[in-house]
Amino acid sequence: MYSYKQKISQNSKKMTTGGSRLWVFIPVLFLSTAIAFVFLRRGVAEEIKVEVVKDEYLETLKPTEIRKEPLALIKEESDFPPELIAGSAGIIVDADNGKILYAKEADNKMPLASLVKIMTAVITLEHKSLSDYATVTAEADAVGENEMGVSEGEAYTIEELLYGLLLNSGNDAAYTLAENVAGSSDEFIRWMNRKAQELGLKNTGFFDPSGLDDRSYTTAADLVVLTEYAMRHKEFREIVATVEKELPYSGLHKYLYLENQTNLLTTYPGVIGVKTGYTEEAGLCLSTYAENSGKKLVGIVLNSIDRKGDMIIMLDYGFSRYGIIVEHHLLDIF
């Protein structure tokens, strides 16, 4: 049996040996930690650097099935009757080959009101999936004027918001999409202008995603190119051809009923969209796409007092250039 003093002596030796090992281990541990920290800092720094220079616009552009070359307009006639329409500017173009069938002041820069939302929809479709969700911000909820009817804190799919954007011309939908797609409305506007450059829209500039800001400008010629490009997107075509849409109540948002604003969808034969616009500065504006007897026409009228009447006249004129008579009684005077 060991004596009490022997046990203390043995324990002291163990503590001394363990302490020596501990003093050796501590510097090694410190050195390893320092090296790891340096490498970790380098890795984080590199990752942050990549995030800073990353170009979200290029990374998320995804219209792989869309023909990217914009429609090239072909002008073959210069003596179109300017008195044909009441609007300040208008154009009708063959959507297949770009041939201008009618034009009035088509190169004049003018405000375009909610026709801005055509570009808003294009940017959204090229950067997000329809099934993605977007949350309504306080800024979007407070925009005012034409509304889809969303409220701060609600969440909608991109598809639902696009219906509200293009049917009801919802400014709240426009800002919800902008802020969720690009991170901010300012960044989204930069993307809009970048896309305009890619499409060769040299006389077009955007200042907001909704069209409320009358500093946004375009020409009838530029806008017809943008509209034709937008119609290449299957999802866009389906939405603008919709007369009414119900969004059922869910745990994420309220029930909403959406209805296509004044257009020629249910009246002029062959019309399949696209969009209306109005501000006091821009006047009544309309973008329309129609197909009859295999001919596809896209038209724009800006600053009109009778956008539907002007578009009907231009469509009739355009189709007649191919010997196509569209039967309707929309211009009958009783």
Instruction: Name the binding residues.
Output: 275
Specify binding-site residues for substrate: 275
Three-state secondary structure of 250-306: CCCCCCEEEECCCCCCCCCCCEEEEEEEEECCCEEEEEEEEEECCEEEEEEEEEECC
The yes-or-no answer on residue 114 being catalytic is: yes
DSSP state of 137: P
- Parallel, antiparallel or unpaired: strands 271-279 and 256-259: unpaired
From 88, 104, 128, 169, the catalytic residue: 169
Dihedral-angle region of residue 199 (phi above 0 means left; psi in -120 to 50 means alpha; beta otherwise): alpha
For residues 302 and 284, what is the distance between their CA atoms, to the nearest angstrom? 6
DSSP state of 70: P
Place of tokens 């022997």: 6
The yes-or-no answer on residue 287 being catalytic is: no
What kind and span of H or E run contains 120? helix 116-125
DSSP state of 100: E
| 2 CB-contact burial (10 Å; exposed 0-12 / middle 13-18 / buried 19+) | exposed
3-state secondary structure of 134: strand
For residues 117 and 186, what is the distance between their CA atoms, to the nearest angstrom? 15
From 117, 128, 295, 308, the catalytic residue: 117
Active site residues: 114, 117, 169
